[in-house]
Amino acid sequence: MEATDSLYNTTGLRRQDRALPQNLADRLLREGEFGTLCLQDTAGGGYGVPLNYVWDGGDVLYMHCAPQGHKLTCLTSVPRACFVITGGSRILPEKFSTAYESVILHGEVRLVEDTAEKSAALSMLIQKLTPRETERGAQYIERAIDATAVLRFRISHYCGKAHQSS
């Protein structure tokens, strides 16, 4: 399942020649291992933290973390965030440039309170990141669910960009 076209929007890109087609952006979103969650720090600055994630194929990403910490403090204050996924980067020294592909998502992040949704999100993460360990993963979720926080990133819009070597 792919995200709806209404969420994907590259019109704001300065370099339209580098806009990533939605199917390639969705592939990176689906297959990427981690991204950086970018938040507003409570002191007014920025705060970015790399996190594993899983995409539901629609308008939600899930991430897991400790049930306390600076990112949760930031989210309580300002739930708006962006999430950046980069893949396939390679320095092109002869061109003084970098080949890359990236997706930037904008939306709101909330703590998942519902145990069933939390368990389902953790199961999706295990299926994506350690697909050969689903049985042990289910046992781990059962033991650790109360000590684990799950974040729901509801995507308002996203775009992809790439620079490929020629």
pLDDT tens string 47-102? 999 999 999 999 999 999 999 999 999 999 999 999 999 988 888 898 898 888 99
Q: Which pLDDT score is estimated for 5?
A: 65
Q: Which pLDDT score is estimated for 17?
A: 87
85 strand-pairing partners? 103
Percent of the chain's residues with pLDDT above 90: 79
Is-contact 88 99, C-beta < 8 A?
yes
Mean pLDDT along residues 40-51: 93
Check whether 130 has a pLDDT greater than 50. Answer: yes
Q: Which domains does the chain have, with CATH numbers?
A: 5-116+148-163 (2.30.110.10)
Percent of the chain's residues with pLDDT above 70: 96
Mean pLDDT along residues 137-144: 93
